Chains A and B, each alone.
Chain A
Amino acid sequence: MFSYVLKRLSLLVLTLWIVLTVTFFLTNVVPGNVAVMILGTRSNPQTLAALEKELGLTEPLPVQYVRWLGRTVSGHWGKSLRFDQPITQLVGQKLVTSSMLVVLALLIALVASIPMGVVAARRQNRWEDTASSGAALIGISLPDFFWGILFILIFSKWLRLLPASGSVDPGQDFLASVKHALLPALALGVGLMAHLTRMTRSAMLETLSKDYVRVSRAKGLAERTVIYKHALRNAIGPVLTVAGLQLGYLFGGVIVVESLFNYTGLGWLTYQALLNRDIPLIQASVLVIAAIFMGINLVVDLLYRTLDPRIEYG
C-alpha cells in the first residue's frame, strides 16, 4: 500500500507539472501582456517598456517560464489586476464559498438518487422504473444552466421561496448562506443525481440477484430488512465511489452555475478573470480547480482501495 501511495503521489507531481506548463503557455498566447493590461492600451510606450522590463516580460519565454514556475510553486501568486487584491487571499475566500456549494450539491444528489435507484431496481420494468430511468435520462440531457434558469423561475420568481442570486459568507449568517447556496446547488446536482440514480439501480439489480439475498428472503426476513440491510449495504460502495469522484467534476462545473447565480465562489472568480483577461488570476484559479479535481480523485481512489481489500495495487 505504501509503495502504491508513493507511486500515485509521484505521478500526481508529474501531472501537476504538465498542468502548470499547459496553463503557462495557454495564458501566454493571449494577445497583449500583463503590462498592457495594467496600464491600458493607450499608455505611454516608455512607461510600458519600463513596466515590461520590471515584470520580466522582455526576457525570452523559457526564462519567463522557469521564473513563473518557481514563483507559483513557492506560493507567490501575485496580485489580481481586476480585484487589486493578493490572489492567495482571494482564492482562499472563494474556495470556502464554493466548497459549501459543491458539498450541498453532492448531498442533494445522494439523498435524491439512492431511494430513486432502489425503487427503480425493486420495481424493474414497471412504471416506477420507467419513470425514474426517464427522469435520469432527461437529467443528463439538459445543461446545468438550463436547470438553474428553470429553478430560478419556479422557486424564486413564482413561489418566492429562495433568492435567485448572490451569496452570503457562511461565517456571518449560516442560514442565509445555505439559502443562497440552495438553488445553485440544486442546479449543479441534477446531472449527478441522474448519474447516481442509474448507478444505484444497476448495482441494486446485481445484488438483488445474489444468493445471499435469496437466502435472507428464504429465512423469512422482512423485505425491508433484505433490501436496506443486506442488498443496499453491498450495492452502495461503487455508488459512493462514483459520488466521490464526481465531487471533482462538480468543482469543474461551478463556473457556469456560479456565474448564472452570481454566487461569488471560485467559479465566479475564474469567470471574472477570463472576462477581464486578468492573467495572473486566470492562472491561479485554473490551477487551483485542476489541483482540487486531481486531489479529490486521488483521495477517493486511495479510500476505495482501503475499504475494499480485494483490489490489487498495480
Chain B
Amino acid sequence: MADANGPNAAVTGVQGAAAAVRPAGPSTRPSALRRIFRTPKGVVGGVLVALVVLTGIFGPILIPKDAATHIDVLHRLAPPSVHHLLGTDQLGRDELVRMLLGARTSLYVGVFAVGLSILIGLPLGVVGGYFGGWVDLVLMRIVDAIISFPVLLLALTISAVLGPNLTNATLSIGIVYAPYLARIARSEVLKVAALPYVEAARASGAGHLWIMLRTVLPNIMPPVIVQATISMAFAILAEAALSFLGLGTQPPTPSWGLMIQAARDYLDMAPWTALVPGTAIALSVLGLNMLGDSLRDALDPSFVMDEGS
C-alpha cells in the first residue's frame, strides 16, 4: 500500500502506526501535482517557468555564438523591425538574441543561489529544530542577525567585497536567502518532531542522524520546496539589481540587469532597450510567483508563508 515507499518504511515494526498519522508523504504527490495544474494560476506559472528554463538551456545552444556580440554600427538603437524583431541596443546588437541569452544567466543564478541557500539553510534549520535547547538558540540568533540586514544591502556588500562577477553574485544571493530557508525548515521540524512516527522511530532505536534524514526531512520538504520556488524569483530580481548597479554580472556576459543599465542613457531615443529585458524579468518572476503560490495551495492549504523580501 501507500506506506511501502513512505519516509519511515525502513523503520520496521512501526509502519502501521506511522501510516495512520503521516500528514503528507510521497503517496499524495500525484494528486498534488494535478491540483497545481488545475488552476489557471498554476498553468500560467508553469508555462512561464518552463519557457524560461527551456530558453536558458537551449538558447545558447541554438543561437549562433556571434549573434549576441555581432556589432552593427549602422543599425544602432534601431526600433523593432523585420530584421531585428525587438530592435537593437546602443552597439547595434540584437535585443531579442541578448534577451534570450540572458535567460541562462538568470536561470543559473536562480538555480545555484537557491541551491546554496538550501545547502546552508536546511541543515541549520533541521538541526536547530530537532535538538532545540541551546543549539537552537545559538543558531536562531545568528539567523535573526543575518535577517536584520536588508537582503539587497548584504548581497551587494558581499558581492562588492568578493569582487563583482557572476559567481560571486550568485554566492552572495545564496548566502543572503539561506536564513529564510533555515527558518521555514526549523518551524516545520518543530511541527513534525512531536508527531508519533518520529517518536516511534526513536523508540525503535534509530539514531539522531537517521531520524533527521529519513523521518523528519522528507516530511518537511513541501514547504521548503514552496519557499525555494519563491526564493528563486527573489534571486532573479536580486541578480538583476546587482548587475544593474555594476556589482553583479559583468559584460560581455548577457544579463537582463546589465541590459537595463545600458538602456538608461538611451531611454528617450530607444525605450525598447529597457522594456525588452524588463519584460523578461517580469515574466520569469511572475511565473515563479504564480507557480509558488499554486504549489503552496496544492501542497498545504493552511500553510502561511514567510516571504522575506
Binding site for B on A (CB under 8 A): 14-15, 18-19, 22, 26-27, 29-31, 137-138, 140-143, 145-146, 149-150, 152-153, 157-158, 191, 248-249, 251-253, 255-256, 259-260, 270-271, 274-275, 277, 282, 286, 289-290, 293-294
User: When A153-B271, A293-B148 are in contact, do A140 and B160 touch as well, CB less than 8 Å?
Assistant: no
Judge whether A145 and B150 touch: CB under 8 Å: no
| CB proximity of B169 to chain A, nearest CB, Å | 13
Chain A residues within an 8 Å CB radius of B92: none
Task: Collect the chain A residues with CB atoms within 8 Å of residue B141's CB.
Answer: 14-15, 18
> For chain B, what secondary structure do more than half of its interface residues adopt (helix, strand, loop), or is it mixed?
helix
Residues of B in contact, count (CB < 8 Å): 41
User: How many Å lie between the Cα of A290 and that of B142 in the bound state?
Assistant: 14
For B268, give its contact among A30, A157, A256 (CB under 8 Å).
A157
* B145 pairs with A22, CB closer than 8 A: yes
Pair A146/B152 contact, Cβ less than 8 Å: no
* A-side contacts of B278, CB under 8 Å: 142, 146, 149-150
Q: Which residues of A contact B245 (CB under 8 A)?
A: 255-256, 259, 271
Cα of A277 to Cα of B156 in the assembled complex, Å: 12
Contact of B157 among A140, A149, A260, A282 (CB under 8 A): A282
On whether the beta carbons of B237 and A143 are closer than 8 Å, the reply is: yes
Please pick, from B150, B240, B274, the residue contacting A290 in the complex, using a CB distance under 8 A. Answer: B150
Complex alpha-carbon distance, A256 and B168, angstroms: 19
A253 adjacent to B145 (CB under 8 Å): no
Q: Taking CB as reference atom, which chain A residue is nearest B274?
A: A149
Among candidates B146, B161, B244, B247, residue contacting A27 with C-beta atoms closer than 8 Å? B161
Query: Which residues on B sit within 8 Å (CB–CB) of A248?
Result: 150
14 more A-B contacts (CB under 8 A) besides A152-B267, A191-B309, A290-B150?
A: A31-B163, A141-B281, A141-B285, A141-B286, A143-B237, A145-B240, A158-B268, A249-B150, A249-B309, A251-B150, A253-B150, A255-B153, A290-B153, A293-B149
Are the C-beta atoms of B153 and A270 separated by less than 8 Å? yes
Q: What is the CA–CA distance of A123 and B267 in the complex, to the nearest angstrom? A: 38
The interface bits of chain B over 282-295 (1 if a CB of A lies within 8 angstroms of the residue's CB, else 0) are 10011001100000
Q: A26-B161, A153-B267, A274-B156 are in contact. Are A289 and B244 (CB under 8 A)?
A: no
List chain B residues, Cβ under 8 A from A146.
260, 274, 278, 281-282
7 A-B residue pairs with CB within 8 Å: A15-B148, A18-B142, A143-B241, A143-B281, A145-B244, A146-B260, A275-B160
A145 and B246 in contact, given A157-B268, A249-B150, A255-B153 (Cβ under 8 angstroms): no
**B68 located at the interface, meaning its Cβ lies under 8 Å from any Cβ of chain A in the complex:** no
